[in-house]
Chain A
C-alpha cells in the first residue's frame, strides 16, 4: 500500500516536472516578438489628450472602442456586442460581459459613461460632437442620444476608446498617460520616451490571445535610418518607407515592400466668392464654373503621379474613397473632366478670360508628401491656360492658422483631407455646407462654396437614422459637387511599409498598424 502510494506520488511529481519543463520550453520557443520602426514617438498614451498617428497606433493596442473599425474600414462589434435604435435619436448599446481591464477590474457601463463625460471636457471634444446625452441603463447597457438623427454614430464611436473609471480616478491624468490601463490586446510594459515602448500580450483578451507576445515600437524619425534599422535586423517592420529606398529594399529577398492607398485626399479648394483676396480683379473669375472646369482640365494628375510621386499615389476619382458613404460608383472627375488643354483654353475664352489672370495658391511645404513640388507642378500646368499661379508656401505650423475660415487671405488652398470614419457626410457637412448658416457646419468651407440644394441634401442626410438613405442622399450631393467643382481633387497618397518576409502583415486603410492582426512565421 505504502509502496504503491510512493510510486504514485513520484509519478505525479515526475509528470509535473515534465509538464513544467515543456511549458517552459514552449514558452521560450513560441514567444513571438515583433519590433516596429515608427516615424515618431507617441506624444501621449491618454486617448483624449490629442491625436497623431503614433499615439493612435498605440491607443488601439492598449484600449478598445465600443465599435471596432476593421482594416478595410468596415465596422463590427468591439466592447459593445450589439446596438440598436430605439427611436430616431436614441441608441442602445449592449456591452460585452466578462471583459476585464489590465488591472483586473471588470469593464462596465459606468466606464463608458465616465469616458464620454471626460471626452466632452477634453481637447478631443469634437469626437463627441454628435452625442448629446448618455447614461447607463444597467451594468451592461448604455443609452446614447444624438442631438438629431445620426446614422453613423457607430462609426464615430470607433474612435472613442474606453477608459477605466476606477483607474483614471485613482491615478490622475499624468499617470493615466504614462501607465495606461485598458481592455486592449496589449499591456504597456515599459515606455522610455523617444527610445522604445514595449507591450506584452494580454492573454485574457476577449477576442482571443494575440499571436505575438511582445511588441516593441521604436521611434526612428529619419527615413534613411529607419530603412537601415530594417536592413540590420534591428526592427521587423517599418512604417513610411522612403520612396528612394523602395528599390533597395525590394532587391533584397529577405524583405518585402507593402503599399496601400491612404485615405488622405490632396485637394485644391477654389474660392467661390464674388471677389477673391489674391485676385486683383473686380470680379473673381473662379466664381464662374467654366473657369473651374478649365482649371481641372488643365491639371494632369497622371503626370503628377508619374513624375513627382514616382507612381506612388492614386489620382483621386472623387472627394471620398470608394469604401465611404457618399461615393458614387463609376463616377470620376478624371473621366468627366479628362486632362485636355485645348478644351480648357476654350472654356477660359468662353468665360471671357482668354488672357488669364493672376492668383495665389497657399500650400504647405512640410505636411504632405512632395507638397512643394506638387504646388510647383500646378503652377506650370495652370500657366498653360494663362493662369499665373503665384505660390505662397509655408510650414504647417503657420499654414493651418493662415488658411482658416473665413480664409480672408486665400483664393486657392492646397491641403489634405481624410475621413477615417468612413462617412463622406462628415466631410461634406464641414466643407461644402454654406458658411455660417448652421452651428457645426461649413466651418472648413474654405472656398465659401454655397449651394442651397447641397445644404438641403446634407440636412436631409443628417436627419435620417438609416444608413442606406444617408448614403443615397450623400451620393446626390457628390453628383452636384462633381458638376459644381468647388474643389479639385488631386490624388490619394500611398502608404509605404517594408517588412521582413517572415512577418505576415496587411496594411490597414487607416494607417493604424495593429500588432493584433500581425503574425510572424518561423
Chain B
C-alpha cells in the first residue's frame, strides 16, 4: 500500500512536470502577454519597463527555470494581470466551483443510480425505455442551451429563481459557502442542474449496462432461488457488483466538472475557477493558466488514486500493488 502510494506520487510529479512544460511552450505561441497589459501606444521604453516588471525580459528557458525554482519553494508565480499570486487567485475561487460541482454530482448520483438500477433490472418496461430516451437527451443537449433555457423559464418567465450570481454566502471554516443559506440554494439550483444533466445521463447509462450484465449472472439466479428479497438482490448483490465502472466514471466526471465547469460558470456568472481560466486565456495570463492546469492535473491524479482505493473496498478481490 505504501509502495503503491509512493509510486503514484512519483507518477503525479512527472505528470505535473510535463504539464508545466507543455503549457509554458504552448503559451509562447499565443502572443506576447505584455501587449495585453500595457496601453497600445506605449513607447519602446515603456514596453521594456513593463517587461521588466513582469519578468518577461528574460528568455523563455530562463523564465521556465525561475518558475521551476520558485515552485520548489512554494511560490507559484504571480498573475501578469492581477499582480497577485496565481495560486491565491485560484484558491479564492475554488470553493465556489467545488460547491457547485458537489451539489451537481450528488444530484446526478442520487437520481441516476436508482433509475439506472431500475432500467437495468427491467430493461423491457416502457418506463425503462422512457428513462433511456431521456438520458440520450441529457447527453446530447449542450450545457449552454440548457442553462439559457432554465434561466428563461425559471428566472425571466416565472421569476421563481435568480438568474445569476452566488447570492448570500456565509463564512464557514474560512470558506465562503452559499449552501448554508436559503438564498444561496436558490442561486445554486439552476447551475447545478445544468452541470448535473450530462453527468446524470452518463452515470445512468453505465449503471444500467452494469446491472444488465450482472443480472444475467448465476449468483443472481441463485439469490433468487434462495428467496432473497428483490430489493436485496438489486442493491445488495446486483448494484454492488455493477459498481466498479460506475465509480470509475464518477471519478472521471468529478474531475471533469471541477476542471471544466467553464461554460456553466460563464452563463450563470458563477464566481468560480472556470471563468478565471477563460479570462486568463483571453488575457494571455500565463502564470494563472500554468498553475490552473497543474492544479487540474493534480486533482485528476488525486481523484483517480482515491478511486483505486475505493475499488478495494467495493470488491475485496482487488488489491493495490
Q: A222 to B271, Cβ gap below 8 A?
A: no
- For B32, the closest partner residue in chain A by CB is A401
Chain A residues within 8 Å of B53, by CB: 122-123
Q: B151 to A228, Cβ gap below 8 A?
A: yes
A232-B156 contact in complex given A50-B81, A440-B43, C-beta closer than 8 Å: yes
Chain A 291-336 interface residues, beta-carbon cutoff 8 Å to B: none
In Å, the complex CA distance between A440 and B45 comes to: 9
Q: B163 to A44, Cβ gap below 8 A?
A: no
A61 within 8 A of B: no
Q: A402 to B82, Cβ gap below 8 A?
A: no
- For A173, the closest partner residue in chain B by CB is B83
Q: A221 to B92, Cβ gap below 8 A?
A: no
A125-B148 contact in complex given A50-B37, A228-B156, A443-B44, C-beta closer than 8 Å: no
Chain B residues within 8 Å of A401, by CB: 31-32, 35
Chain B residues within 8 Å of A222, by CB: 266-267, 269
A439-B43 contact in complex given A40-B279, A177-B83, A397-B283, C-beta closer than 8 Å: yes
B164 within 8 A of A: yes
Q: B37 to A400, Cβ gap below 8 A?
A: no
A220 within 8 A of B: yes
A129 within 8 A of B: yes
A68 within 8 A of B: no
Contact of B269 among A124, A125, A221 (CB under 8 A): A221
Chain A residues within 8 Å of B303, by CB: none
Distance (whole angstroms) from the CB of B174 to the closest CB of chain A: 14
Chain B residues within 8 Å of A426, by CB: 41
Chain A residues within 8 Å of B162, by CB: 232, 234
Chain B residues within 8 Å of A439, by CB: 43
Chain A residues within 8 Å of B315, by CB: none
Interface of chain A, main secondary structure: loop
A398-B83 contact in complex given A126-B41, A222-B269, C-beta closer than 8 Å: no
In Å, the complex CA distance between A49 and B269 comes to: 25
B165 within 8 A of A: yes
Chain A 212-248 interface residues, beta-carbon cutoff 8 Å to B: 218-222, 224-225, 228-229, 231-234
In Å, the complex CA distance between A366 and B282 comes to: 9
Q: Would you give the 0/1 interface string for B157-190, flagging 1 where the beta carbon is closer than 8 Å to chain A?
A: 0010011111001000000100000000000000
- For A120, the closest partner residue in chain B by CB is B49
Chain A residues within 8 Å of B152, by CB: 228
- For A419, the closest partner residue in chain B by CB is B41
A400-B81 contact in complex given A195-B166, A222-B267, C-beta closer than 8 Å: no
A219, A228, A430 pick with most chain B CB within 10 angstroms: A228
Chain B residues within 8 Å of A225, by CB: 151, 163-164, 267-269
A44-B155 contact in complex given A193-B271, A195-B271, A400-B31, C-beta closer than 8 Å: no
Distance (whole angstroms) from the CB of A175 to the closest CB of chain B: 11
B46 within 8 A of A: yes
Chain A 431-448 interface residues, beta-carbon cutoff 8 Å to B: 439-440, 443-444
Chain B 197-255 interface residues, beta-carbon cutoff 8 Å to A: none
Chain B residues within 8 Å of A366, by CB: 282
B3 within 8 A of A: no
For chain B, the count of residues having a C-beta within 8 Å of the partner chain is 52
Distance (whole angstroms) from the CB of B31 to the closest CB of chain A: 4
A398-B41 contact in complex given A194-B276, A234-B165, C-beta closer than 8 Å: no
Distance (whole angstroms) from the CB of B83 to the closest CB of chain A: 6
Distance (whole angstroms) from the CB of B143 to the closest CB of chain A: 12
- For B29, the closest partner residue in chain A by CB is A398
- For A40, the closest partner residue in chain B by CB is B279
In Å, the complex CA distance between A220 and B283 comes to: 18
In Å, the complex CA distance between A233 and B165 comes to: 13
A404 within 8 A of B: yes
Contact of B49 among A49, A125, A228, A398 (CB under 8 A): A125
A43-B82 contact in complex given A123-B50, A125-B49, A228-B155, C-beta closer than 8 Å: yes
Q: B92 to A193, Cβ gap below 8 A?
A: yes
Distance (whole angstroms) from the CB of A88 to the closest CB of chain B: 23
A397-B83 contact in complex given A192-B271, A225-B163, C-beta closer than 8 Å: no
In Å, the complex CA distance between A218 and B269 comes to: 9
Q: B39 to A124, Cβ gap below 8 A?
A: yes
Q: B43 to A397, Cβ gap below 8 A?
A: no
A397-B30 contact in complex given A44-B83, A193-B93, A221-B269, C-beta closer than 8 Å: yes
A140 within 8 A of B: no
Chain A residues within 8 Å of B281, by CB: 397
In Å, the complex CA distance between A365 and B164 comes to: 27
B30, B148, B151, B152 pick with most chain A CB within 10 angstroms: B151
Chain B residues within 8 Å of A122, by CB: 53
Chain B 31-57 interface residues, beta-carbon cutoff 8 Å to A: 31-33, 35-44, 46, 49-50, 53
B312 within 8 A of A: no
Contact of A397 among B31, B40, B46, B269 (CB under 8 A): B31
In Å, the complex CA distance between A444 and B42 comes to: 9
B319 within 8 A of A: no
Q: B269 to A126, Cβ gap below 8 A?
A: no
- For B49, the closest partner residue in chain A by CB is A125
B84 within 8 A of A: yes
A51 within 8 A of B: yes
- For B160, the closest partner residue in chain A by CB is A232
B residues bordering A, Cβ < 8 Å? 30-33, 35-44, 46, 49-50, 53, 81-84, 89, 92-93, 96, 148, 151-152, 155-156, 159, 162-166, 169, 176, 266-269, 271-272, 275-276, 279, 281-284
23 A-B pairs with C-beta separation under 8 A? A40-B279, A46-B83, A49-B83, A123-B49, A123-B50, A123-B53, A129-B46, A192-B271, A193-B92, A194-B93, A196-B165, A218-B164, A221-B269, A222-B267, A222-B269, A224-B267, A366-B282, A395-B31, A396-B36, A397-B283, A400-B40, A401-B31, A404-B35
In the A-B complex, the 6 residue pairs with the closest CB atoms: A194-B271, A398-B31, A401-B32, A400-B35, A195-B271, A228-B163
